[in-house]
Amino acid sequence: MRWTSGVSERRQNGARSFAADRVQWARSVRTDELRAAQDALRDSRSYGIAITGERDIGKGAFQTALVRSLAPDIYAQTLRSTMVGTETPYGALAPLLARLPDEDLESPSATMRGIMETLREDAAGRQAVIALETPGGLDELSTATLVNLMMTGTAKVIVVADRTSDLPEDFHWMLTEQRIREIQLDLVPSEKTEEVLQEVLGGIVPRTVAQMLHAMAHGNPEILYRIVGDFLVSEQLRSTDGVWTLADDAESTRSREIDDVVRARVEREPTEVQTGIEALACARRLPLERLTAVFGVSTVAAMDESGLIQVEDADRHSVALADPVMAEVVRGWLSVPRRRELRALVIGPDEPPLASLGVVELLGYAAWTRECQTVLPASHAIAAAGAALKLYDPRFALDCLEGLPRVRGLWATVQRLRANAHLALGLPIQAHAFLEQVSEEELSALPPVDFAAFVESLAAVKRSTPGRGAEVPALIVESRTRLLVTSGLTDVDDDDVRRAMAILELVEFEDAAARGDFAPILERLELAAAGAPGWDDELRLRAACVLMQAQVMVGREDEALATLHRVSSELAGPAGTPRVRHEFGNRAFDVLLYNGHWRQCLALVRSVGHTTVPGLRIEGAQYELAAGVALVYAGRGSEALSLLLAAIAQLEQGRARPYLGCAYAATAFAFAQQGDAAAARNYLDRVEGWVWPCSYSVNASMEFCADMARRWIGERGAAARLVEAAREDIRSGRWTMAGIKLVGATVDAGPEELALLEEVCAHRQGALAELGRRLARGTRLRSLPDLIAASDLSAGLELDTLESRCTAVGLDIARDTGDVRSARILQARLDRLTGLVEVLPVVPQSLGPLLTAREREVAVLAARGESNRTIAEEMGLSVRTVEGHLYQVFSKLGITSRAELGGLL
């Protein structure tokens, strides 16, 4: 442990050192642009390059990195001039002018000749390149001199500008004819951020951490550089056991340098534009109509022409600041009185009607009100909290609800939202306490649909609270009875009652799925997913999500895939709410995993992952765990390890306890697949000490991975545990899970277990079921065609470990039965798999037909291309004897020509 701590400390120090080098950072983050710039400068037709990009995107650091990369083949001279502006003659070339003798300064032509001669002497026969750092622009004489240097081939030029239109007119034709190449520096994608952080930090950089840092920097690599440096110094970004984690409360703070850049840019604008910038920074987003009504058409047009705003191309035409960094910095320097003044200017004395606010506008309005230290009206607070929860920002949801008074008609809804927020933060006990504070009178005041939503939250909280999960079925029965009584006594809309009843039935379905009781609810799920009375489109799709998970568990894998594709086709429509998409992602993972489509699992995990910092904090580690589980199920333990270790580091730091046991078990299985029994036992010990409420799906993966790890490292009784678990699945109608466990348990099993596997697969659908049936039948009856078919099915699913098992068993049978041709094919297949599978689950036991010493000697010479006569002379044999030996060799190895000998000896 001390050694690990020392390694982490050295890694932390090394990362700080690297992150302190802005040029090295630019070299890492801009590899593609750097290569393009180098190629352009080496092109014989090129006059140079123009580096363009928004302010504070790292153009200067990129230019420096480029200049350093050109040495020693190219002579590069960086000219840093303090004489900026277009009015200072030769201002950009002042460093070169200072080196010229007085006679070279008498006329522009003499000055130009002097500069050319100086550059030629400095370059000493090499290509010369001038890199300019002139933030104030180029004067006429500097421009004329540079054009002459480029056109005469004396030097190429590297110039930096925000955009090419800022360059002198003399450069424009060169750009048009591609004699000057534009190298545009844009925001970097999240994949590039991951790659750079991996290079800079070393060790394991979780994708979640990389994405959070990327979101904080809004994709700007220069801002990312400063954030990473700040977090390393403050140790909010720290390496523990080789994995980098980000503190749960880590927030990006803008440096003074960025603040100065933004302030300078804002202060150059007219007063009315500055006020508009401040208002948009506070509001986040405003309708275009409202913005023009407050600030006037001319001011908004000026902001648009300056590139300060971005108008959403939709019916509402809402407006936001184009640069999110500017918005954050401006908000940071505004005082509370100024925020209130701006709020009064834009919103006025009355609160905006909820119907007039889009989701982003509502959240911006709520944040602005909170930043003014004002309590939100209850209706707006509840709406904003609900929107924040849909976007996985439970902390902001709690901020919105802070300070609300206890009102009879609203309190149950407020407490429900608070409970949902605490549950998302991994605090189920606190969530339960909030719901218990709601009185019977307050519950009775709720409309049917709101009451059903309250029960839904209470059920979810109870399932997540230790010792409370068993209370859910009784809660559902009691709530259904109460709803029926209430609807009969009051004037309640029948449609509302039907929808409330549908919500309660969905709660029942979800609870049964969480306990693994899929078979009893299957028929009712099919009716609900088809659109029964009271089931609107959102509820119908949520029921379909539970249905596809139930179908895959009970052995109807093909039907589950069909349901998955049907639901997926509707996600883009109005019913595809964030909640539906979230439930689809979670349950679709099981459908794909238990159909053997592990690559699609990885694609699903990547596509449904969050991109906002709050969402990544809540669920980012779970997506890394899911990817690791998919890989370990596929037998790719070495690929899974970095993901699983990253997930564990984050889960241990956070509060997502239901997933931690599964992460430990999957990691143990991954180490076992690599043959590292000690590391596998270490994580198995952690599984033994872990207890926390979790769904059947998570618990089943944990138990399967743990038992498979034990079986893989040879622990006694592991196979028997898998068989017993499979029998329990059979009793509960979970045929798919039973089949998967039996495949793992029957590596060294007898005919009884193999027959059971064959019987289970008969109750299932899909390629995995057929694979299991063929494997069981082939092993039990020593049927080579079945084993070859199983091996082919495994190959089609890219299940290398399972393919190696089928191949090894088939190879033994082929050798034992004297099927030399099949043995040769299977041996070649196993040889290929040996390079892919680190530890074979089954090793061939039969050595097959062996060559005698004399036969091997003859075969080796024949493989070299020697003729029969040469072999006979070298070994002192007759030609006929050599021919006889070769006949025996060809017969035993199942070949027909000398050319095939080379790969077999």
Average pLDDT, the chain: 89
- Give the per-residue pLDDT at 696: 96
End-to-end CA distance of the chain: 47
Find residue 318's DSSP bridge partners. Answer: 287
- C-alpha 564/C-alpha 587 separation (Å) is 9
Checking if the pLDDT of 250 tops 90, the result is no
- Give the per-residue pLDDT at 315: 58
Mean per-residue pLDDT, 495-518: 95
Checking if the pLDDT of 3 tops 50, the result is no
Comparison of pLDDT for 485 and 697, the residue scoring more:
697
Find residue 78's DSSP bridge partners. Answer: 131
Among 143-152, 440-449, 792-801, the range of highest mean pLDDT: 792-801
- Give the per-residue pLDDT at 82: 56
Which H, E and C letters describe 7-43, residue by residue? HHHHHHHHHHHHHCCHHHHHHHHCHHHHHHHHHHHHC
What are the boundaries of each domain within the chain? 2-18+189-249, 31-184, 613-714, 853-900
What b-and-e string marks burial along 726-736, b requiring 16 or more CB atoms within 10 Å of the CB?
beebbebbbbb
8 A C-beta contact, residue 118 and residue 146: no
State whether the Cα torsion 732-735-737-741 is positive or negative. Answer: positive
- Give the per-residue pLDDT at 820: 83
List CB contacts of 340: < 8 A, sequence separation 6 or more: 372, 374
pLDDT tens-place string over residues 819-861? 888 888 898 888 888 878 888 888 777 655 556 778 878 888 8
pLDDT tens-place string over residues 203-226? 899 999 999 999 988 899 988 988
CATH dotted code for 853-900: 1.10.10.10
Mean per-residue pLDDT, 230-249: 89
- Give the per-residue pLDDT at 745: 94
Find residue 243's DSSP bridge partners. Answer: 204, 240
- Give the per-residue pLDDT at 479: 95
Among 11-20, 22-31, 304-313, 698-707, the range of highest mean pLDDT: 698-707
Checking if the pLDDT of 808 tops 70, the result is yes
pLDDT tens-place string over residues 266-313? 988 999 999 999 999 999 988 888 899 999 999 999 999 888 998 876
pTM for this model (two decimals): 0.86
CATH for 613-714 (2.40.30, 2.40.170, 1.20.1250, 1.25.40): 1.25.40
How many CB atoms are closer than 10 A to CB 326? Answer: 22
Mean per-residue pLDDT, 420-431: 94
Question: Which three-class secondary structure state does DSSP give residue 320?
Answer: strand
Tell me the backbone φ, ψ of residue 400, rounded to 5 degrees.
-60, -35
Rounded alpha-carbon distances, angstroms, from residue 819 to 315, 829, 831: 73, 15, 18
Checking if the pLDDT of 864 tops 50, the result is yes
8 A C-beta contact, residue 629 and residue 592: no
Mean per-residue pLDDT, 750-754: 93
pLDDT tens-place string over residues 99-118? 888 887 878 888 888 888 98
Categorize the per-residue pLDDT at 538 as very low, low, confident or very high, splitting at 50, 70 and 90.
very high
8 A C-beta contact, residue 665 and residue 706: yes
- Give the per-residue pLDDT at 2: 37
CATH code 3.90.1200.10 for 31-184 = no
- Give the per-residue pLDDT at 1: 38
Find residue 244's DSSP bridge partners. Answer: 239
Pick left, alpha or beta for residue 790 (phi over 0 → left; psi -120 to 50 → alpha; otherwise beta). Answer: alpha
Checking if the pLDDT of 4 tops 50, the result is no
